[in-house]
Structure 1
Amino acid sequence: MQVLFGDDIYPKELTIFNNGQSNHVIVLPASATEIEQKAALKLQYYLREMSGTELKIVPENKTGYAHNIYIGKCNNTKKLNIDFLALGKDGFSLNTLGNDLFISGGNGKGVLFGVYGFLERLGCRRYSTDIEVIPKNNHIKIPGLNITEIPVFEYRETLMPDASNSDYAEWHKLHHRSERGNDWGMWVHTFDDLIPPERYFDTHPEYFSLNNGVRSAKTQLCLSNPNVLDLVILQLKELIAENPRATYWSVSQNDTYGPCECLGCKKVDNQYGGVPSGSLIHFVNQIAERFPTKIISTLAYQYSRRAPAGIKPADNVNIVLCTIELNRSRPIKTDPGSLSFVKDISDWKKLTNNILIWDYIVQFRNYLDPFPNLHVLQPNIQFFLDSGVNMMFEQGSNRSLSEFHELRCYIMTKLLWNPDMDVDAVMNDFLNG
């Protein structure tokens, strides 16, 4: 998180409630967006629960009040000269000026995240889906504010039980899986979906990987076969027509091994560094060329994790780089067993800026077994940030309960917003809450 403190030009303390009484109203733009309306309602609810008094929500063109809490892009916000472009989608600003409080945000969910950030400053907490803290306080006074927070990761998703709840995800400024469902037309391991072996293998085994001299329906596709390319393009055309709003479309290996070993695929691999990612990127780039307004995503996973040489992913190709082989109990940057991954992420970063890290923060053998890796979460997040990554997907136990899953999820959500936050302070806050 980039935290920007301006000059102390708005130092005046602001009293919002005094013994349960307030002169403030919540002000929305005359044509408020859905997110601005939701942000106002959430602020109204939590302030009422804290103080016992409900503030009115009024449109800006019908207010004549002298004490206002402005939500979103109100006309009066212009006097602050906020750089909304710099806020991106999710950044927000908290400002006081005279008797007024301004909560502003980017063009995504920034203003809603700003409301939740403000409420946390008042002592509210969302420790889990079921545990929420709303302190009772009928005298709410805030210091002068001139603060901007901008997340350093453009995409932040955590696959944990609590994070599957949309309210929890929004409170912690995460992307919820439902948003991924809107933005992604297909999501990883898609070869079988694009060319189903039950439909094609019997009549066209040459569409599938040659492994140890035998074509296999249970591994991957033959990426040097021009008919495979044509079929994938045709299938994508149909799928995109059905879901034109989706931006990302994954063309990626199945969740197994077995890259094609035919002469054609080997020739392409050898042309681009002698690694299977060579034929993969060559294949995906051709698809990306046919769909210039979409982003074609593919995996750098297991056998395809090493970056190719002599070829770059197209500008509209996204690389999902996975850490599945690594020791999750040690920081990646300093773990001798992870040196190859450190090289891989560096090599991919030289080829593209469009990288999503798929990281793993639990062990899969038994979710309830003790797995003391809380100490590696921060150094790993900082390593990914220092490596130039701006999209993070943290795979935990999904909707299954796991050891310390509430605490692990809570810490991870805070780190994805602010990789430099005080982990001990956050952990103590959680444990004492």
Structure 2
Amino acid sequence: MKNAIKVISVAMCLFFAVTAFACKKPEEGEKGAYLMAKDGQTEYTVVVPETASETVSFAAQELQYFFKEVTDIEISVKKDSDISSADAGKYISLGKTKLLADAKISVDETTLGMDGYLVKQKSDDIYLCGGADDGTVYAVYGLLKELFNLEIYTADCYTFDQKSEVRFDAFDFTDVPDIPFRVIGRSNTWYSTKENMFRMRVTNAEKRMSNLGHALYYFIPAAVYFDDHPEWFSVKNKPSGHNDWQLCMTNEEMKAEFIKNVKTFVEENPSIDIVSLGQNDGYGYCTCDNCAAKEEEYGAVSGAYVAFCNDVAAAVTEWMRGIDAARASRLQFYMFAYTFTEKAPVKDGKPTIRCADNVGVLVAPIGAHVSHAYSDMATNASSAGIFKNWKTVSDNFYIWSYSTHFANYYMPHNSFGSIQKNIQDYVDIGAQFVFDQATCGNSVSNFDALKTYLFSKLLWDSELHFDTLVQNFMNAYYGEAAGPHIYRFFDVMRSYLTSLEYSSSQYAECASQRPTNVSSQYFPQNYLYYLDDIFYDAFEALDNAKSADEEAYALYKGRVDFEYLDVLYLQLELYRGAMSNSEKKELIERFQDIAIENRMNNFNESGTITLSSLINTWKQ
């Protein structure tokens, strides 16, 4: 795929006559006090530590790859043991090399965190270093942005200014993400390749956190403990799965075993300092006499969970302090504010119990209208209240947000209007972690790639201009020919779904039967005809440019086809009965071909709507 993209990026000057990928004409004699490359040659060498980690080695590979893309020069990589600061060469130092130490450049790991980085120049040499190794990879992208205006839209779609002569002025800057831990739960980033995750600035949660989210079943599995200790559980019958059962938060014997198991987990996973104590999915919380009494005392079911998590955190931290005091100071734990624990332990505006200093709360407002910010009192008074009350209980926040409809991934779903304001609100409360859950493990359209890009950019810098990001993405990802038409579809779709909110109270949600019941009442045929016309214009624009570069045409047409599935789905779901047999057959085959090409199978979270079941229903 890389080679194909490279060919496309060079050819786009002819295809669109503007900078769709790498089409800026080289300008000889550009300003810049320092010369990095000219006429296919560079005096620079990339330097990594002698014992470079896999991550820092990857940073060097990314620098080599993009340097070659822009200049067609293979920049060499050497270990610092083969380099001396007294040598006459010019170097780009990655990570904590001997060159960095010799240059007496200090790295404030506390300020930079895991992903922040510095880029600094001394004489002809450039030093890139993160607060941790992941930050060094991001430093590479930061340098490439400065040198070549590199912009990454997806792992295999990026733009840059192509140059035969590379000059630059002095570098001295740092960059720290607004949200330290960023996880985007989509098929193109969730447990994806290292290349995809780094290029989209996604945190590898497995390296830094325990079981992401629901965790009670992990530390006290029913299969192991229920038969001998049924009183530890909230249900009378042995559960067969992980959902709709919880633990008795007031059972001291269970808590002691839970603490023992958490200690074992922490000991066996030395890289993990953030431990989830989140409740199981669903409901089924314990209502025994002791738990009921605690609910009354605290004013909410969540109060017993806060007390339990505080006790677990205190015991595990004290134990770790005797083994590794530094790690003990880093350990963090979090519980959920989700479903039955959304209500904070607050009475008369005052907390009845507070989270310990190293215990946070992961807020997951699953019932909110996701087309509006969670803080929007007019439409999301409930979620706004959840955040307000929990802020009196905890100083440490983690976020689990939603941007799809789990019952039907192809329900038209407009969460775009809330993305930036939500993230800005997360920054204001000092959130350490954001996980946006969408269609994990399954490719869908509904502008999924755009959402990934927006989260990637805004979780790092929440003040970027939203519409500029959207328009740049459209032109790069769908091509300059089709991009304006797909932007028009995006704009029309969002405006129409917004109008349904006001006319029919059809808000975008993630866990109910709305934003619509996919009915002709809300999606009249004339509206779909209008959308169809927009895509006709997009395909026509691509066809008109096809002869310039057929490989580029195929790439962009495939991406436009993918978004067209939204329209095809509504046409077939609502109006196939009015179609002729031949027309219905043609549309079904087109939908199926595009879905298979994009590896789509499940159309909802539970897997009850599959491509084959959908096609069979439509054929009847």
TM bucket (normalised to shorter chain) is 0.7 to 0.9
Verify: 1:356 aligned to 2:398, yes or no: yes
**1:102 alignment partner AA:** Y
Give the aligned partner of residue 267 of structure 1. Answer: 293
Residues 95 and 146, structure 1, Cα contact 8 Å, conserved in 2: yes
How does 1:174-193 map onto structure 2 within 5 Å?
Answer: 174-176=202-204, 180-193=205-218
Give the aligned partner of residue 71 of structure 1. Answer: 94
| Equivalent of residue 337 in structure 2, options 266, 285, 300 | 300
Residues 208 and 215, structure 1, Cα contact 8 Å, conserved in 2: no
**Structure 1 position 37, deviation (Å):** 3.1
- Specify which structure has the bigger relative contact order, considering alpha-carbon pairs within 8 angstroms and separated by 6 or more residues: 1
Q: Which stretch has the larger CA shift, 43-52 or 215-224? A: 215-224
**Structure 1 position 356, deviation (Å):** 1.0
Verify: 1:117 aligned to 2:142, yes or no: yes
1:380-406 deviations in whole A, cap 9, x for unaligned?
Answer: 100111122222111121121231111
Give the aligned partner of residue 73 of structure 2. Answer: 53
How does 1:247-262 map onto structure 2 within 5 Å?
Answer: 247-262=273-288
Verify: 1:369 aligned to 2:411, yes or no: yes
- d(CA) in 1 for partners of 2:54 and 2:225? 46
Verify: 1:152 aligned to 2:178, yes or no: yes
- d(CA) in 1 for partners of 2:397 and 2:436? 14
Give the aligned partner of residue 4 of structure 1. Answer: none
**Structure 1 position 412, deviation (Å):** 0.7
**Structure 1 position 344, deviation (Å):** 2.6
User: Structure 1 regions of 5+ residues with no counterpart?
Assistant: 1-10
Q: Which stretch has the larger CA shift, 136-145 or 109-118? A: 136-145
Q: Which stretch has the larger CA shift, 94-103 or 390-399? A: 94-103
- d(CA) in 1 for partners of 2:180 and 2:62? 24
Verify: 1:138 aligned to 2:175, yes or no: no
Residues 56 and 133, structure 2, Cα contact 8 Å, conserved in 1: no
Give the aligned partner of residue 169 of structure 1. Answer: 197
1:227-276 deviations in whole A, cap 9, x for unaligned?
Answer: 3223323443454455455333333322111322222112222222x101
Verify: 1:426 aligned to 2:475, yes or no: no
- d(CA) in 2 for partners of 1:172 and 1:31? 26
Verify: 1:236 aligned to 2:262, yes or no: yes
How does 1:301-340 map onto structure 2 within 5 Å?
Answer: 301-308=338-345, 309-340=351-382
Q: Which stretch has the larger CA shift, 290-299 or 145-154? A: 290-299
Residues 209 and 215, structure 1, Cα contact 8 Å, conserved in 2: no
> TM-score, length-normalised on structure 2?
0.62
1:251-304 deviations in whole A, cap 9, x for unaligned?
Answer: 3322111322222112222222x1011111112222222211354332111111
SS at match of 1:290: helix
More helix by share: 2
Verify: 1:28 aligned to 2:54, yes or no: no
Compared with structure 1, are the counterparts of its residues 58 and 238 closer, same or farther at alpha carbon in structure 2 (3 Å cutoff)? closer
Compared with structure 1, are the counterparts of its residues 125 and 161 closer, same or farther at alpha carbon in structure 2 (3 Å cutoff)? farther
Residues 186 and 248, structure 1, Cα contact 8 Å, conserved in 2: no
- d(CA) in 2 for partners of 1:399 and 1:333? 29
Compared with structure 1, are the counterparts of its residues 237 and 355 closer, same or farther at alpha carbon in structure 2 (3 Å cutoff)? same
**2:108 alignment partner AA:** F
Give the alignment's Cα RMSD to 1 decimal.
Answer: 2.7
Q: What percentage of residue pairs aligned between the two structures are identical?
A: 26
1:24-43 deviations in whole A, cap 9, x for unaligned?
Answer: 22233455444333322321
Give the aligned partner of residue 206 of structure 1. Answer: 231
| Equivalent of residue 389 in structure 1, options 414, 431, 454 | 431
Residues 46 and 134, structure 1, Cα contact 8 Å, conserved in 2: no
Give the aligned partner of residue 347 of structure 1. Answer: 389
**1:24 alignment partner AA:** Y
Q: Which stretch has the larger CA shift, 183-192 or 303-312? A: 183-192
How does 1:395-414 map onto structure 2 within 5 Å?
Answer: 395-402=437-444, 403-414=446-457
**1:358 alignment partner AA:** W
Compared with structure 1, are the counterparts of its residues 101 and 230 closer, same or farther at alpha carbon in structure 2 (3 Å cutoff)? closer
**1:39 alignment partner AA:** A
Give the aligned partner of residue 3 of structure 1. Answer: none
More strand by share: 1
SS at match of 1:357: strand
Residues 367 and 401, structure 1, Cα contact 8 Å, conserved in 2: no
**Structure 1 position 77, deviation (Å):** 4.0
What is the number of residues matched between the two proteins?
Answer: 416
SS at match of 2:392: helix
**Structure 1 position 224, deviation (Å):** 1.8
Residues 215 and 276, structure 2, Cα contact 8 Å, conserved in 1: yes
| Equivalent of residue 126 in structure 2, options 101, 104, 118 | 101
- d(CA) in 2 for partners of 1:338 and 1:167? 37
How does 1:74-89 map onto structure 2 within 5 Å?
Answer: 74-77=97-100, 79=103, 81-85=105-109, 86-89=111-114
Q: Which stretch has the larger CA shift, 316-325 or 81-90? A: 81-90
Residues 245 and 284, structure 2, Cα contact 8 Å, conserved in 1: yes
Give the aligned partner of residue 6 of structure 1. Answer: none
SS at match of 1:332: coil
Give the aligned partner of residue 245 of structure 2. Answer: 219
Residues 12 and 98, structure 1, Cα contact 8 Å, conserved in 2: no
SS at match of 1:345: helix
**Structure 1 position 148, deviation (Å):** 1.4
**Structure 1 position 132, deviation (Å):** 4.2
**2:125 alignment partner AA:** D
User: Structure 2 regions of 5+ residues with no counterpart?
Assistant: 1-30, 321-330, 346-350, 477-620
Give the aligned partner of residue 509 of structure 2. Answer: none
Compared with structure 1, are the counterparts of its residues 60 and 186 closer, same or farther at alpha carbon in structure 2 (3 Å cutoff)? closer
Residues 372 and 380, structure 2, Cα contact 8 Å, conserved in 1: no
> TM-score, length-normalised on structure 1?
0.86
1:111-135 deviations in whole A, cap 9, x for unaligned?
Answer: 1101012223413343224434465
SS at match of 1:319: strand
